[in-house]
Structure 1
Amino acid sequence: MKIAFIGIGNVGFALANNLQKKGHEITIAHNDVNSTSVKQAKEKNPSFSVLPIQEAINQSDIVFLATPFNLNSDILSSLEFKSKTLVDCTNPVGAGISHGLESKISGAEKVQEWAKNANVVKSYTIYGFENLENASFPNYKEKPVMMIAGNDEKAKKQVEKLNTDLGFETLDVGDLSMSLHLEHMTLLWVKMVRANGHHPNFTWAYLERKV
């Protein structure tokens, strides 16, 4: 699959690097090929290609958004996605690790407003980048779960396939409005790890009792 990444920091690189190892073609979507983030990503994985954002979108099968949330409006509003899947990996984090939109609406729904002709799927936000770098937990038979939310079933199926490649079990939690609850799960993880000193090497799992 041809995958474009808008944003190639810790989260973006972890996902892009692992997906490239699984045989996917990765393009960094950036209008400044000499930016620090592009150079650092290319140094770590020279197989990545780089194209201007709109051109990268045009040539991709699916697009990942892994930017600081406060940049999303300016980045997305002028782009044409032509009904492609846009995977929202961003989180609106406010002061004191609070929800940056006061829990009135999810960040993913705002992303959908700004990227009107994309099919937005929320994913890869409930953990820090450490568990996107390495999703293996060999001491358990269960795989870590990656929860997704979105309004388009075909788009969610695309993301589910990538989850499998990355070593996650997918749990579809519903439509895009459910992203608000996933963003609160993100805040829980971030407060535990970044603020309270818990180690980052843990994930959530989905255990289902058969009745």
Structure 2
Amino acid sequence: MKLAFIGIGNVGFSLANNFQKKGHEIIIAHNDVESGSVTKAQAKNTSFLALPIQEAIDASEVIFLATPFKFNEDILKPLEFKGKTLIDCTNPVGAGISHGLESKISGAEKVQEWAKNARVVKAYTIYGFENLENPIFPNHTVKPAMLIAGNNSEAKGKVSLLNTDLGFETIDVGDLSQSLHLEHMTLLWVKMVRANGHHPNFTWAYLER
């Protein structure tokens, strides 16, 4: 697939780099294609193309949003997604590692509000970038789980295929409103690792009897 990345920091680059290794075409979506973040990413992976955001969306099948949440509204409102899949990799984090929207609504639902004609799927948020950079756990037979939420089954199917490429087992938790609970899983992971010193190289798994 052709994949566009709005945001190419730790999360965006980790995903883009791994997907490129799996044979996907990567486009960095940035309105300044010579910005520091773009040139830094291209120095690490010379196969990345860079295009202005709307052009990158038009050229891609799936778009990843991997920006700080506070910028999402201004970035998304002017854009035309034409029914394409938009993967929300962002989290609204408030003071003291709290939910930035006071748990009244998920960040993903706000993303859908701002990107009205996109098919938003929440994914790649319940872990830090370390487990997107290296999602392989060679000593275990159970795959790491990637929980996703969204309102469109076709869009979630595309995300499931991408998850498989990275080695994740997809767990579909329901419609986009379920993203609120995934964002709380993120806060749990962040508090454990960033605040309390737990090592980052762990994921959740799904066992079924």
TM-score of the superposed pair, with normalisation by structure 2: 1.00
**1:139 Cα deviation after fit:** 1.1
**Residues in 2 aligned to 1:43 and 1:190: alpha-carbon distance in whole angstroms:** 29
**1:35 Cα deviation after fit:** 1.1
- Give the corresponding residue for 2:157: 157
Matches within 5 A, 1:172-191: 172-191=172-191
> What SS class does the counterpart of residue 109 from structure 1 fall into?
helix
- Give the corresponding residue for 1:125: 125
**1:58 Cα deviation after fit:** 0.3
User: 1:114 corresponds to which letter in structure 2?
Assistant: W
Does residue 201 of structure 1 match 2:201?
A: yes
**1:204 Cα deviation after fit:** 0.2
- Give the corresponding residue for 1:15: 15
**1:36 Cα deviation after fit:** 1.1
- Give the corresponding residue for 2:56: 56
- Give the corresponding residue for 2:42: 42
> What SS class does the counterpart of residue 80 from structure 2 fall into?
coil
> What SS class does the counterpart of residue 83 from structure 2 fall into?
coil
- Give the corresponding residue for 2:79: 79
User: 1:116 corresponds to which letter in structure 2?
Assistant: K
Segments of 4+ moved more than 3 angstroms: none
User: 1:84 corresponds to which letter in structure 2?
Assistant: K
**1:42 Cα deviation after fit:** 0.5
**Residues in 2 aligned to 1:102 and 1:33: alpha-carbon distance in whole angstroms:** 35
**Residues in 1 aligned to 2:186 and 2:121: alpha-carbon distance in whole angstroms:** 16
**1:109 Cα deviation after fit:** 0.0
Can you list the C-alpha shifts for 1:83-109, whole angstroms capped at 9, x where unaligned? 000000000000000000000000000
**1:37 Cα deviation after fit:** 0.7
**1:19 Cα deviation after fit:** 0.2
> What SS class does the counterpart of residue 5 from structure 1 fall into?
strand
**1:153 Cα deviation after fit:** 0.1
C-alpha RMSD of the superposition: 0.3
User: 1:31 corresponds to which letter in structure 2?
Assistant: N
**Residues in 1 aligned to 2:70 and 2:57: alpha-carbon distance in whole angstroms:** 21
**Residues in 1 aligned to 2:97 and 2:198: alpha-carbon distance in whole angstroms:** 15
TM-score of the superposed pair, with normalisation by structure 1: 0.99
User: 1:152 corresponds to which letter in structure 2?
Assistant: N
> What SS class does the counterpart of residue 187 from structure 1 fall into?
helix
Does residue 68 of structure 1 match 2:84?
A: no
Identity of aligned residues (%): 79
User: 1:108 corresponds to which letter in structure 2?
Assistant: A
User: 2:97 corresponds to which letter in structure 1?
Assistant: I
Please list every run of 5 or more consecutive structure 2 residues that lacks an aligned counterpart in the other structure: none
**Residues in 2 aligned to 1:77 and 1:166: alpha-carbon distance in whole angstroms:** 30
**1:34 Cα deviation after fit:** 1.6
**Residues in 1 aligned to 2:54 and 2:134: alpha-carbon distance in whole angstroms:** 30
**1:161 Cα deviation after fit:** 0.1
**1:73 Cα deviation after fit:** 0.1
- Give the corresponding residue for 2:114: 114
